Structure 1
Amino acid sequence: MDDERILEAAADWLLRLDEGCSAADRQAFEHWYARDARHRQALEQMRGLVGQLQGLHAERHAVGAALAGTLATPRRRLPSTLAGLGAMALGVSLLLMLNDGWRQNWLADLHTAPGEWRRERLADDSVLLLAGNSAVKLHYDQGQRRVELLRGEVLVEVAPDPRRPFRVDTVDGSMRALGTRFVVTREEHDTLLSMLHSRVSARSADGARTLDVAAGTRARLVHDDVQRLGSIDPAATEQAWRQRQLVVRDAPLGEVLDTLARQQRGYWHHRDPALNALRISAVLPLDDSTRALALIEDSLPVTVQRFTPWLTRIGMREQK
């Protein structure tokens, strides 16, 4: 489990225990806390960061005291005030940004914040359109045009240059442009390639698998494989991308919430297993989380609670 997932797990435990949990859940938390030094370190990091944030929070003294006492003694009840939850969520969000996002932004030549889209014309007249929460590093010289996607999603419009091939690389593999326009999405465990025009030669990171991907199709790259996923509508895909829309058809709600959450600065708590049993077909705005969640809440039996701008909880609606 990487650092980001450990911090998310720590946040989930804090919220679950705050809601009131069974003896079995509390025992599971204590087992998680004791199993790995990184788990204990994650809680200590949150406590330290909340202390640094005290000057930014209206109820800083109460929050600091509550979290300090709680995290120092995991058997004690965790904070139940909204102020404590808000400060904890703020700390988690900033820690996630510090751990991975800030490192990637430091390495990147171009990057965007959650909810921010950016268009950049490169020196060769190729164009990159970065979705929100994305980062790329450019490798341009006399012999190459290479874009390294560190995080997020990018739409590429390639200018012709027969002397220098154009490539997009991720940790999962590389995509060499044989045409002009395509979208590359770096996901948690793989990379998705969506072809809008012409072709791309996709190669897995270990070099064992190469596949030509034509316009109107999609492929998945992992370290040792490239898999064709099926067809897409290039015009509809590009329109949704440019309009900052998430188009989903019969998708698990948990996956949709994960995608929406990547475009938010705060922390979304949505770990109820029942949410993953729900499926949704919708067109949702990626740059307007309030509207997106309202559409979800109207169409599915879920409830949305906003405690602070940094903390949103999505759960199942209670049946009357």
Structure 2
Amino acid sequence: MPDAAAERIRQEAALWAVTLADDAVDDATRAACDAWCALDERHARLLAEMRRMWESVTPDTPAPQPARRGLSRQALGALALLPCLLVAGAAMPWQAWLADERSGVGEIRHLTLEDGSRIALNSDSAIDIDFSGSVRRVQLVRGEVFVEVAHGDKPFAVVDRDGSARALGTRYAVRRDADDTVVTVTESRVRVQPLDGGDDRWVDVQAGQQVRFNRSGVTTDTVPAAPGGVAWPQGRLVFDDAPVAEVLRQLGQHRPGLLLADDEALDTLRFTGVLPIQQSDAALALLASALPSLRVSTLSPWLVRVTTAPP
């Protein structure tokens, strides 16, 4: 099983474990979980392991209560523990939990730093801030950040596990993906330098461009940024002839619970338009309205499945 698929199943099993820990969970949610387990024998096996781990890490903790916008702090803490406990030797995500600034799932946070720079944190993101040295550093621990850099006496850089993106202007976004980092520049220039690339290995990214890199070097050539690629700080997602599976992937990052897509059935569908981030039910309704063959099934507040109508 590919690592990405394994990680997704672990996360889904962890969420089900937290959901089922609530004494008030309804029959429809239990039925949805049973349906998820029936899809693949690995689902039921991992869910059983997750539930055992939940009981071991929260023996005296009341069951978490589902909230409209996400889980309680207790539930989120235990949920973050579960996938890590499953993988032997996996690093515990203490850095993300203890980060200087964080955002929840579905939350867009806007901050003004001490130097006047403005920052937006995308859904489920975390950063550390350190202006004490010779560089104003924002450490991207998780997720995505958009910065509007104020003028100052010291350089400004967003850094993560793969390297640094130093501002040569003012406005850009940095997103940490599973295997690499994406930098999208909306104004002026940004100098991208992989961690292991040495001082002479860097690339300048111009306004309207995007690049991917990992700690060893640039992984893709610099390309034009997608239209509306950094629209999320304004609370919207912009798509231009995008595969519906990708549209749903992005919506799912801003929605508590699971948004499951039948990728094979959706393979031929594409979408052009603008969707609201923080009203994901409305976004799904708009998507279904634009694509009449789309079927959105709300199985519970925590589980939505999207597929197509039978021919």
Q: Please, what TM-score do these two structures have when normalized by structure 2?
A: 0.73
Looking at secondary structure, tell me which structure has more helix per residue.
1
Q: Secondary structure at the match of 1:275?
A: coil
Separation in 2, partners of 1:108, 1:287: 23
Q: Is the 8 A contact 1:11 1:92 kept in 2?
A: no
Do residues 45 (structure 1) and 50 (structure 2) align?
yes
Q: Who wins on radius of gyration, i.e. which is larger?
A: 1
Partners of 1:285 and 1:292 within 8 A in 2: yes
| 1:253 counterpart residue number | 244
Q: One-letter code of the match for 2:224? A: S
CA distance in 2, matches of 1:315, 1:246: 21
Aligned-partner residue type, residue 79 of structure 2:
L
1:207 is aligned, of 197, 202, 218, to 197
2:192 partner letter: A
Q: What residue identity is the alignment partner of 1:219? A: V
Equivalence map 1:104-253=2 (5 Å): 104-162=95-153, 164-207=154-197, 209-226=201-218, 227-232=220-225, 240-253=231-244
Give the superposition deviation at 1:277: 3.8
- Quickly say closer, same or farther: Cα 1:306–1:15, change in 2 above 3 A: closer
Equivalents in 2 of 1:118, 1:140: separation in Å?
20
Structure 1 position 144, deviation (Å): 2.4
Summarize deviations over 1:194-213 as a string: whole Å, max 9, x none. 11221111012321641001
Residue pair 1:130, 1:155 contacting (<8 A) in 2 also: yes
- When the two chains are superposed, the root-mean-square deviation of aligned CA atoms in Å is 3.7
CA offsets, 1:116-158, max 9 Å, x none? 2222111222221112221111122142211111222211111
Residue 280 (1) aligns with residue 297 (2) = no
Deviation string, structure 1 residues 227-280 (Cα, Å, up to 9, x no partner): 34423489x555x33421111122222222111111111112224422244222
Say if 1:97 and 1:55 are closer, same or farther in 2 by CA, change over 3 A.
Answer: closer
Q: How many residues align?
A: 272
Correspondent of 1:266 among 257, 272, 276: 257
Aligned to 1:303: 295
Contact 1:134 1:151 in 2 (8 A): yes
Identify the residue that residue 26 of structure 2 maps to in structure 1.
none
User: The residue matched to 1:132 in structure 2 has which SS?
Assistant: coil
- Cα 1:165–1:98 change in 2 (3 A) is farther
Structure 1 residue runs of 5 or longer lacking an equivalent are 34-38, 59-90
Write the deviation string for residues 184-223 of structure 1: whole angstroms up to 9, x where unpaired: 1222332221112211110123216410011122212223
Which residue of 2 is the match for residue 18 of structure 1? 35
State the Cα distance separating 1:298 from its structure 2 match: 1.8
Q: Kindly tell me: are residues 98 and 286 of structure 1, through their superposed partners in 2, closer, same or farther at Cα, counting changes over 3 Å?
A: farther
- Aligned residues: percent identity? 36
Q: Supply the distance in 1 between the matched residues of 2:226 and 2:266 (Cα, whole angstroms).
A: 29
CA 1:178–1:12 in structure 2 vs 1: closer, same or farther (change >3 Å)?
closer
Q: Comparing 270-279 with 183-192, which one deviates more in the overlay?
A: 270-279
Contact 1:173-1:204 at 8 Å conserved across structures: yes
Measure how far apart 1:167 and its partner are. Answer: 1.0
